[in-house]
């Protein structure tokens, strides 16, 4: 997860927020955390992001603020890359 984020946003700042790892770029970009059965990518996601990726999200447990990627499946690198790029653009637009 870290490698993906650093590849897309080389100037990203790594912090701990709410006791979990977080990346900041023009505000909070994404949080990530590992659990027993899954890895979670989280942030209060915009309606635009959720709508944009709705087809890709069908196979995952998704809420307004988190996406769970089960350990039993390979990590969806392309999807994560696309989400980070989307969030980067959202944060740049807010600046």
With respect to residue 92, please indicate whether it lies within any of the assigned structural domains. no
| Residue 61: domain span | 2-83
For residue 90, tell me if it sits in a domain.
Answer: no
**What pTM, to 2 d.p., does this model score?**
0.93
Average pLDDT over the chain, rounded to an integer: 94
CATH number of the domain that residue 8 is part of: 3.90.1150.200
In a domain, 94, yes or no: no
pLDDT tens-digit series, residues 16-39: 998 999 999 999 999 999 999 999
Within-domain flag for 62: yes
Question: Is 43 a residue whose pLDDT tops 80?
Answer: yes
Answer for the pair 28, 17: CB distance below 8 angstroms, yes or no.
Answer: yes
CA distance 49 to 71: 23
Total of domains in the chain: 1
| Average of per-residue pLDDT across 78-84 | 96
Residue 89: inside a domain, yes or no? no
Digit-coded pLDDT (tens) for 48-61: 999 999 999 999 99
Is residue 30 within 8 Å of 81, Cβ to Cβ? no
How many CB atoms lie under 10 A from the CB of residue 6? 14
């Amino acid at each position: 997860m870290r490698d993906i984020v650093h590849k897309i946003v080389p100037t990203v700042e790594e912090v701990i927020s709410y006791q979990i790892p977080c990346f900041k770029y023009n505000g909070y970009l994404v949080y990530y955390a590992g659990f027993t059965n899954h890895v979670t990518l989280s942030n209060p996601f915009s309606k635009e992001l959720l709508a944009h990726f709705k087809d890709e999200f069908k196979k995952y447990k998704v809420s307004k603020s988190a996406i769970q990627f089960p350990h039993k499946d390979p990590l969806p690198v392309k999807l994560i890359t696309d989400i980070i790029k989307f969030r980067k653009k959202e944060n740049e637009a807010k600046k």
